[in-house]
Amino acid sequence: MNDNARLNFDAFTTLLEQHNMVVTAAEVHGVICGLVCGGMARDDARWQQHFNDLLNDGFGLPAELKKAVNLLFNRVFDDLLEQSRFELLLPADEEPLDDRLDAMMEWAGAFLAGFGVVQQELNKASPELQEMIQDISSITQVSGEFEQEDEESEAAFVVLYEHLKLGATMAFEEFGKGRPVPERPTLH
């Protein structure tokens, strides 16, 4: 498996299964996004311990999986810096809507877990970001709202997907360590 394949949902799922991990690719990506968006710097190795605590009962990962997770962490960082490339790691559009929705809810919950581990001062976030975090929390509970697989449900899924992307981008802009923080003018 080459490095690019490891960032594919199905390939990542297979890799997790090969190592008997009980987490999904969506959860792995969500936690990593939450850690990065919460303010974990790229060169801060503590993110690996947070990741292990949240998804592997505090245990380290096997070498091959650790390499893949490190690649994913760096890819997330790069994609958030270049906003236009950032996508959630979810099943392909051809997969059943229920499967994609379940993965989206897993991603949202994992994002909040990763974000919450790093960002303990949400009260310092903009009102827009605080509202967005509430929205992401609500997305973890949406499964009952998609009763049939039709164009309307598909459109609603896309709206939620884009909302999660926007939320992650907003959180990264406010708390992420990937860019220098502009100085705010001092009021006298």
In a domain, 188, yes or no: no
* Cβ–Cβ under 8 Å, residues 126 and 174: yes
Q: What is the CATH number of the domain that holds 50?
A: 1.20.120.740
In a domain, 113, yes or no: yes
DSSP alpha helices (H): ranges in the chain?
9-18, 25-38, 46-55, 63-81, 97-118, 127-139, 151-175
In a domain, 41, yes or no: yes
Output the CA torsion sign for 97, 100, 105, 108: negative
Q: Which residue has the tokens 């884009």?
A: 162
pLDDT at 144: 62
Angle, helices 46-55/25-38, rounded to nearest 10 degrees: 140
Q: What's the pTM?
A: 0.88
Give me the domain span that covers residue 87: 5-175
CA nearest to 28, candidates 94, 123, 103? 103
Task: Give the number of domains in the chain.
Answer: 1
In a domain, 183, yes or no: no
- Does residue 17 surpass a pLDDT of 70? yes
- Does residue 89 surpass a pLDDT of 70? yes
In a domain, 61, yes or no: yes
pLDDT at 182: 47
pLDDT at 153: 86
* Cβ–Cβ under 8 Å, residues 111 and 33: yes
Q: How far apart are CA 118 and CA 36, in angstroms?
A: 9
In a domain, 147, yes or no: yes
In a domain, 33, yes or no: yes
* Cβ–Cβ under 8 Å, residues 32 and 51: yes
pLDDT at 7: 59
In a domain, 184, yes or no: no
Structure tokens belonging to residue 182: 């502009």
Q: How far apart are CA 109 and CA 24, in angstroms?
A: 12
At 123, is the pLDDT very low, low, confident or very high (cuts 50, 70, 90)?
confident
Q: How far apart are CA 141 and CA 10, in angstroms?
A: 24
